[in-house]
Amino acid sequence: MKRESIVPAACAAVTYTVLCHPHHHTVFIVLTDGPGNKDDITRSKNEGKELSKEEKQRLRKQKKQQKKQKERKNEKSETEKEKTPVSLLPPPRPVATQKAPSALPAPASAPIPVPASAPFHSSPAPSPADKPAKSKAELKAERRARQETDRAAKQPGSSSSGIKTKVPLSELNPVVKRLPEHVQVDDPAVVKRLAKKLERQQIPLRSDYGYKVSLFSHLHQYSRKAPLTQQLSIPSTVIHPSIVRLGLQYSQGIVAGSNARSVALLHAFKQVIRDYTTPPNEELSRDLVNKLKPYISFLNQCRPLSASMGNAIKYIKKEISNIPSQCKEEEAKTKLLTCIDRYIEEKIVLAAKAISKYAIEKISDGDVILVYGCSSLVNNILCEAFEKSRKFRVIVVDSRPRLEGREALRRLVQRGISCTYVLISALSYILPEVSKVFLGAHALLANGYVMSRVGTSQIALVARTFNVPVLVCCETYKFCEKVQTDSFVSNELDDPDDLMVTRKGKTQLENWQDVSSLGLLNLVYDVTPPDFVDLVITDLGMIPCTSVPVVLRVKNLDQ
Amino acid sequence: MELQAVLMAAGGGSRMMDLTYNTPKPLLPVGNKPLIWYPLNLLERVGFEEVIVITTKEVQKMISTDPKVKLDVKMKLDLVCIQEDADMGTADALRHIQQKVKTDVLVVSCDLITDAALHEVVDLFRAHNATLSMLMSKAHEFTETVPGQKGKKKTGEQRDFVGVDDTGKRLLFMANEADLDEGVVIRKSIMRKHPRMHIKTGLVDAHLYCLKKSVVDFLADNKSISSIRGELVPYLVRKQFSKSTNSPKVIDETHQNLKKNDKIQISSRDEELLHLTQERSCWNDHRGDMSDAYHGGRLRCYVHIMDEGICYRVNTLAAYIEANRLAPKLFDEPAVHPSAVVSERCLIGADSIIGASCQISDKTSIKRSTIGVSTTVREKVKVTNSIIMHGVTIEEGCNIQGSVICSNAVIGRGADIKYCLVGSHSTAREHNSKIAPEKRLTECHRAEVNITYHYKSITYNNCHKVSK
């Protein structure tokens, strides 16, 4: 099983420095992957591991020295430093993010072997402070220079192999992003590190179900039995009440679906910002970001963040750190609140409108449209199309355990749309009468794969065999830098107890845990390869799946 | 701040007057701790740092002066006194402190002894953005014989009918037997929205409520409601299904028409965003009809019903005795206080509690009992299943069984007291203190003797016998 998830080189960083603290900017970047910093991030667990011992020791030493220096300099930065998790990288290397922009990100090309002697130190390494001031032309020149050095470095490097290539690799692309914690739960060291981090943030750790399906042991097995609030004080002091509420709603499924979760998150953040006051001797732009961090960890413990939420968080963090230090608190807060409102309006509400405008063009009279599960966007499209008096029929396909299709069915029927409801097992039976398939998405990955509710890829596959066009509807804010080719590497495991059914007072599988040879797997997402998707309808228009990286890059340049 | 805790400790204990004649109910000793300690401890355990305690002047004075009433809590207590004779209900009291209420409130009664997981109640309140969430528990059968009561416990309590939905969490219906004329009437508007409703009886309301701040504001405008349990909660439960609270128009109306204050405003900031979230979320609280989640209602009441665990309201003598029996299980403290002087040649059961600076003499046996602070027990005394409050003196050779001896009573030599309630400051002298010995053996009459002295005098030598 392939475990590396590789994020391709997308483009040069333009605005990353805004996030940085002058003393430890690189550390910051590595972990936060700040807004707009869609640079080349090659994360591979193996690379991190295969640093030679001497290398590691050297890094450690450097770090220690840095720490000492900082302690001497001022205490404030010291405390902040503590909050940033440890990285494998020596902090003073802003070079890291400067990488050759490859025209189209090909995942395989990301780990480029380069010998140790690669002259990366000589490459232009602008200090973070002057970076945003650079003009585009300057950046371009810089990039070109780097490209050339890279190219020069590549040629001799292609022949070398083994450790020798790996070490310098991490130096060329020092943004070796660690695998995210949620996909290596089977590694005790990582779990310990996460527990430590949460303890520092005073966030309770989600309890494990204590049972694993073998192939998915690296993922966290969620359990609804012990809510996190059990471990929190009741008038919650560490976490803002609105965040606690939101966390509960996430974990109980009251707020479900990518869009709903993002809106709710932004709503909660608005309340946090409203109630926020900058402590004396602190800067809003720095302190608020730090304040949000434990909240985000808490929400992540309640339910793993969705890609859309990740993007929303990145955006907020960027907006916060963009606030100049001389800005008055009230002013800054109003600014942030309007930013959030604008984000919701533009990225979610107006995007949905634009998408339905495009999608309606694809719905013609007499169509039989198949939808799966409950996508708020697809529902919205169908309702709008119906209001525009298109004559069509909908087939709602549903699957256990969530049976979200019933909610979609209710919403569509309520509007007066004629619907048919089948379970996913009847898919091949129903498909011959279908003329189009509309699917929602959880996220669109950089390699064009569609991440969506589990079962979606099956629908796309069967639709392809029946030659029915598959249209995926997705807002661009759900586009994600991640690359994934299977549903194993990174996924969400919901509570296996949800699979139990109670009929007539009898619960089958009630004591399933007693049967040692039986395992229940409640997978939440799957990925659909771009081959099965004919079209992606986004707020930017109708594009093929493979254009996701282009959109991501265009978005980066905009920001 | 998310929640403010309000502790209602001004009740007189009208259903156990014998006990509360001299000691106010919040300060009655249960397991040698004042009753009020239990809810305070519950709140402190879950993380409250400040509590508003609504109480009477008398209680306040005793808390601050009486060393026996040591509350032993680290929380900041904000004592608010109300007049005793004003006959204020719990809702009146809440209205009284409206100025202090800045957020949603958690209202607790002072007579609640429970080990409930409070987060269950609060989580319902949080997750569903509820207007009210409350705690209920299965009613307990009191097994102990109650002194001073004839035969079995009379079922004078009016039953409550509580209707919940399929999940058992949403509170749909509430009615008390006393208010019903002929049978339970359930309105059609409820049945239309919740065709399946489970109506439960045999539940005890723990008198623990999470209330939205808007409810407190509503109370301030509505002076007619005086009790939370009696009036406010049924009102809120009923209002869940009334058209006027749920249509958004009315909310606007109340904004315009400020005189019209008899409606609860449930609107909050960013209502649009919440609505957008709900619209996009593929979750629904019910199935089987065409309406949105919560049927588009804004007012929602929830209840958490405890399946197991301890939950008592100490408002009757029977509950008081039961609570004393269970009290040792609720806290980890040595059964015998270190300052108590206990003779080595006496027998003290593991389920007994001996208070501070007690003196227990030789050849004494104490089983399943609570002995209060500064009580003196002399030789050859046998105490079983009894509650001895503070400052009691028990002379030689007494036999006390299943009784409650209130503070500062003196039990004369050789007294034989079974299933009795001895009032505070009373004296049972030796020559006439053999209380109904002839009836000791007959089961049905054992509770007939009831000595109650409420006078601060020990000159009364004779026991006042109430016998049939």
Closest CA–CA distance from residue B107 to any residue of chain A (Å): 13
- Give long-range contacts, CB 8 A cutoff, 24+ apart: A389-393: A390/A360, A390/A363, A390/A364, A390/A365, A391/A365, A391/A366, A392/A363, A392/A364, A392/A365, A392/A366, A392/A367, A392/A368, A392/A417, A393/A367, A393/A368, A393/A369, A393/A417, A393/A418, A393/A419, A393/A420
Chain-centre distance for alpha carbon A6: 13
Best to test chain A binding among B43, B208, B277, B291 (most A CBs inside 10 Å): B277
Which residues, other chains included, contact A390 with Cβ-Cβ below 8 Å and sequence gap of 6+?
A360, A363, A364, A365, A367
| Binary contact (B290, A414; C-beta < 8 A) | yes
* Token pair of A111 as six digits: 């780990």
The torsion angles phi and psi of A471, rounded to 5 degrees, stand at: -115, 125
Closest CA–CA distance from residue B327 to any residue of chain A (Å): 24
A392, β-bridge pairs = A367
Instruction: Measure the CA–CA gap between A8 and A484, rounded to whole angstroms.
Output: 11
* Token pair of B132 as six digits: 């009210």
pLDDT digits (tens, 9 = 90+) for A230-274: 888 888 888 999 999 999 999 998 999 999 999 999 999 999 999
In A, which residues are within 8 Å of B106 by CB distance?
234
Pure H helices in B331-460: none
Mean pLDDT computed over every residue of chain A: 76
A20 versus B98: which is more confidently predicted?
B98
| Binary contact (B2, A244; C-beta < 8 A) | yes
Percent of chain B with pLDDT over 90: 16
Asked if B46 has any chain A CB less than 8 Å from its own CB, the reply is yes
**Per mean pLDDT, which range of A268-272, A414-418, B267-271 is the poorest?**
B267-271
pLDDT digits (tens, 9 = 90+) for A94-114: 333 333 344 434 443 334 444
Identify the sign of the CA torsion A358, A360, A364, A368.
Answer: positive
* Token pair of A325 as six digits: 């230090």
pLDDT of A144 higher than 80: no
pLDDT digits (tens, 9 = 90+) for B23-40: 888 888 888 888 888 999
pLDDT confidence of A151, banded at 50, 70, 90? low
**Per mean pLDDT, which range of A182-191, A410-419, A483-492, B197-206 is the poorest?**
A182-191
pLDDT of A422 higher than 90: yes
Q: Find tokens 């349990």 and name the residue.
A: B229
Chain-centre distance for alpha carbon B281: 40
Instruction: Measure the CA–CA gap between A19 and A36, rounded to whole angstroms.
Output: 10
| Binary contact (B117, A260; C-beta < 8 A) | no
**Per mean pLDDT, which range of A165-174, A310-319, B404-413 is the poorest?**
A165-174
pLDDT confidence of B331, banded at 50, 70, 90? confident
Q: Which of B203, B112, B104, B125 is nearest to B170 (CA)?
A: B125
Q: Find tokens 């007494």 and name the residue.
A: B398
Q: What is the DSSP string of A119-183?
A: -GGGS----GGGSTT--HHHHHHHHHHHHHHHHHHHHHHTT--THHHHHHHHHHS--BPPPPGGG
**Per mean pLDDT, which range of A62-66, A258-262, B250-254 is the poorest?**
B250-254
Pure H helices in B300-445: 317-330
pLDDT at A46: 43
Which residues, other chains included, contact A532 with Cβ-Cβ below 8 Å and sequence gap of 6+?
A457, A460, A461, A463, A464, A470
pLDDT at B156: 58
**Per mean pLDDT, which range of A299-308, A433-442, B63-72, B102-111 is the poorest?**
B63-72
* Sheet strands (E) in B10-75: 29-30, 33-34, 50-55
Closest CA–CA distance from residue B291 to any residue of chain A (Å): 8
pLDDT at B421: 78
| Binary contact (B47, A264; C-beta < 8 A) | no
User: What average pLDDT does the segment A354-361 reach?
Assistant: 94
CB atoms within 10 A of CB B299: 23
Helix-then-strand count for chain A, H and E: 18, 12
pLDDT at A349: 93
pLDDT digits (tens, 9 = 90+) for A435-477: 999 999 999 999 999 999 999 999 999 999 999 999 999 999 9
Which residues, other chains included, contact B292 with Cβ-Cβ below 8 Å and sequence gap of 6+?
B278, B284
Instruction: Measure the CA–CA gap between B345 and A493, rounded to whole angstroms.
Output: 63
pLDDT digits (tens, 9 = 90+) for A274-319: 999 888 888 888 899 999 999 999 999 899 999 999 999 999 999 9
Best to test chain A binding among B198, B282, B292 (most A CBs inside 10 Å): B282
Instruction: Measure the CA–CA gap between B196 and B189, rounded to whole angstroms.
Output: 13
| Binary contact (A408, B282; C-beta < 8 A) | yes
User: What average pLDDT does the segment A497-513 reach?
Assistant: 84
| Binary contact (B127, A406; C-beta < 8 A) | no
User: What average pLDDT does the segment A386-390 reach?
Assistant: 93
CA of B113: how far to CAs of B43, B47, B250, B315, in Å?
11, 17, 41, 11
Asked if B462 has any chain A CB less than 8 Å from its own CB, the reply is no
Interchain CB contacts (distance < 8 Å): A and B: 104
Instruction: Measure the CA–CA gap between A197 and B272, rounded to whole angstroms.
Output: 36
- Grouping H, G, I as helix, E, B as strand and the rest as coil, residue B176 is strand
pLDDT confidence of A91, banded at 50, 70, 90? very low
Candidates B122, B269, B281; nearest CB to A234: B122
pLDDT confidence of A150, banded at 50, 70, 90? low
Instruction: Measure the CA–CA gap between B345 and B198, rounded to whole angstroms.
Output: 57
**Per mean pLDDT, which range of A10-14, A270-274, B258-262, B414-418 is the poorest?**
A10-14
User: Mean pLDDT highest for which of A131-145, B187-201, B260-274, B391-405?
Assistant: B187-201
Q: Which of B25, B10, B8, B108 is nearest to B320 (CA)?
A: B25
Best to test chain B binding among A225, A229, A232, A234 (most B CBs inside 10 Å): A234
**Per mean pLDDT, which range of A129-138, A276-285, A528-537 is the poorest?**
A129-138
Q: Is A416 exposed, middle or buried (0-12, 13-18, 19+ CB in 10 A)?
A: exposed
pLDDT digits (tens, 9 = 90+) for B413-453: 777 887 777 777 766 654 444 443 333 322 222 333 334 33
Chain-centre distance for alpha carbon B116: 13
Q: What is the DSSP string of A408-463?
A: HHHHHHHHT--EEEEEGGGHHHHGGG--EEEE--SEE-TTS-EEEETTHHHHHHHH
pLDDT at A45: 41
Identify the sign of the CA torsion B250, B253, B255, B261.
Answer: negative
User: What average pLDDT does the segment B205-225 reach?
Assistant: 90
pLDDT confidence of B391, banded at 50, 70, 90? confident
CB atoms within 10 A of CB B220: 15
CA of B28: how far to CAs of B63, B111, B197, B258, in Å?
12, 10, 40, 45
User: Mean pLDDT highest for which of A123-127, A173-177, A397-401?
Assistant: A397-401
Closest CA–CA distance from residue B276 to any residue of chain A (Å): 7
pLDDT of B301 higher than 60: yes
By a Cβ cutoff of 8 Å, what residues of chain A touch chain B? 227, 229-230, 232-237, 241, 244-245, 248-249, 252-257, 259-261, 263-264, 266-267, 270-271, 344, 348-349, 373-376, 404, 406-408, 410, 413-414
pLDDT of A162 higher than 80: no
Radius of gyration of chain A, Cα coordinates, nearest whole angstrom: 24
pLDDT confidence of A366, banded at 50, 70, 90? very high
Quote the pTM value.
0.77
CB atoms within 10 A of CB A64: 10
pLDDT digits (tens, 9 = 90+) for B117-158: 898 999 999 999 899 999 999 887 777 677 766 555 555 567
In A, which residues are within 8 Å of B277 by CB distance?
255, 260, 263-264, 267
pLDDT confidence of A186, banded at 50, 70, 90? confident
In A, which residues are within 8 Å of B276 by CB distance?
263, 344, 348-349
Q: Is there a contact between A40 and A514 (Cβ–Cβ < 8 Å)?
A: no
Instruction: Measure the CA–CA gap between B69 and B64, rounded to whole angstroms.
Output: 8
Instruction: Measure the CA–CA gap between A535 and A555, rounded to whole angstroms.
Output: 20
In A, which residues are within 8 Å of B117 by CB distance?
230
Instruction: Measure the CA–CA gap between A321 and A19, rounded to whole angstroms.
Output: 6
| Binary contact (B274, A248; C-beta < 8 A) | no
Instruction: Measure the CA–CA gap between A549 and A481, rounded to whole angstroms.
Output: 8
